[in-house]
Amino acid sequence: MASRMLTTATGSGIAAVTATKPGCRLSVVVPCYNESKVLLELHRRLTAACTAAVGADYEIVLVNDGSRDDTLAVMTGLVAEDRRIVAVNLARNYGHQIALSAGLRYCRGALILIIDADLQDPPELLPQMLALIDQGAEVVYGQRRTRKGEPWFRRTAMKVYYRLLKRMVEIDIPLDTGDFRLITRRVLDILNAMPEQHRFIRGMISWIGLKQVPVLYDRDARFAGDSHYTYRKLLGLAFDGITGFSVVPLRLASYFGIFSGIVGLAMLIYSIGGYFFANAPVGWASQTTIILVLGSGQLIVLGIVGEYLGRLYIESKRRPIFLIESVIGGEDKAPSP
């Protein structure tokens, strides 16, 4: 299987990413937080889509991300009626990206469909995605033509963010995509070998490279319930996206320093000129302005450095990324985090 292997450079040299032997043709991985109202409909639509695409050779990995409603009970009920379902019950709420990572660590498929529980992304795209894989793609990502049921401000903020991110990072993170995608086991093995705690999965997959192609779709409104991404969480994800893939913001300090140095020099020349040829121009108001502008610039830069330092600190502890409380259904084998 040498041709299927990619090598990664590690601190100790070059190590091969070990290829895992798939246990079924397709795994569907679904992170779920307080999704009891959508799970039955999700199961119905996923089952129909998977059966049409690959027959019976699939599994659905539902990850319970420390839900506070009866998501786990509904999952347990589904496991009892459908042996293709596996419920991975995490020890607490870790957030979308980590819950997804747990499911990805656990699943066994040769191909892996990543999808949200709320049916905003249609599972019915599966045949189209499979066709693209058959044509040689390693990743087929859903790219949103439109998004329904999301407020204007949020939609615009996302648009601006993705464009900003694209300018800052050197890898090609496609615009208007979430985590909805079909990936091969080859890509997943590499992804699982990436050890970081702050996981911005769509970026990590882009980082891997290989052949990645889009499939365009219209994003629906949630089937039920509200988005769990508060603006605070979105901001966290946005920072993970930028800090995970770019150190450009750290250069802001140097740019700011050069800029304020030039302005300071100009002011000096102006003040000396004023001293000799006119009345001294500098009053307390202009001084206060300068102090405030410089002070706020320095604090912002310090904050940015702090974002990187904080992430470095958390990474340095090397804690497990997630802990699994129990696995219901499937082969009862918990993966090491």
Quote the tokens at residue 196.
Answer: 């970081």
Q: Is 143 in the site for ligand UDP (CB under 6 A)?
A: no
Among 59, 116, 138, 176, binds ligand UDP (CB under 6 A): 116
Residue 177 CA to its chain's centroid (Å): 10
Contact 25, 109 (CB under 8 A): yes
Of 157 and 193, nearer to ligand UDP (C-beta) is: 157
Residue 95 CA to its chain's centroid (Å): 11
Mode of pairing for the β-strands spanning 7-10 and 13-16: antiparallel
Q: How many binding residues for ligand UDP (CB under 6 A)?
A: 16
Q: Is 176 in the site for ligand UDP (CB under 6 A)?
A: no
Among 37, 43, 84, 96, binds ligand UDP (CB under 6 A): 96
E strand or H helix that includes residue 234: helix 231-245
List of E strands, the chain: 7-10, 13-16, 24-32, 58-64, 85-90, 109-114, 139-147, 177-184, 212-219, 324-328
Q: Is 120 in the site for Mg ion (CB under 5 A)?
A: yes
Handedness of CA 289, 293, 299, 302 (dihedral sign): negative
Of 39 and 79, nearer to ligand UDP (C-beta) is: 39
Residues 211-230, mask of contacts with ligand UDP (x by CB under 6 A): ----------------xxx-
Selection from Mg ion, ligand UDP, none that 35 binds (CB < 5 to 8 A by kind) is ligand UDP
Sequence letter at residue 9? A
Q: Is 165 in the site for ligand UDP (CB under 6 A)?
A: no
Specify the DSSP class assigned to residue 12.
T
Selection from Mg ion, ligand UDP, none that 32 binds (CB < 5 to 8 A by kind) is ligand UDP
Contact 102, 324 (CB under 8 A): yes
Of 116 and 138, nearer to Mg ion (C-beta) is: 116
Of 93 and 260, nearer to ligand UDP (C-beta) is: 93
Q: Is 118 in the site for Mg ion (CB under 5 A)?
A: yes
Window 24 to 43, contacts with ligand UDP (CB under 6 A): 31-33, 35
The β-bridge partners of 88 are 63, 327
Binding region for ligand UDP (CB under 6 A) out of 113-121, 263-271, 275-283, 288-296: 113-121
Applying CB under 6 A, the residues found at the interface with ligand UDP are: 31-33, 35, 65, 93, 95-96, 99, 116-118, 120, 227-229
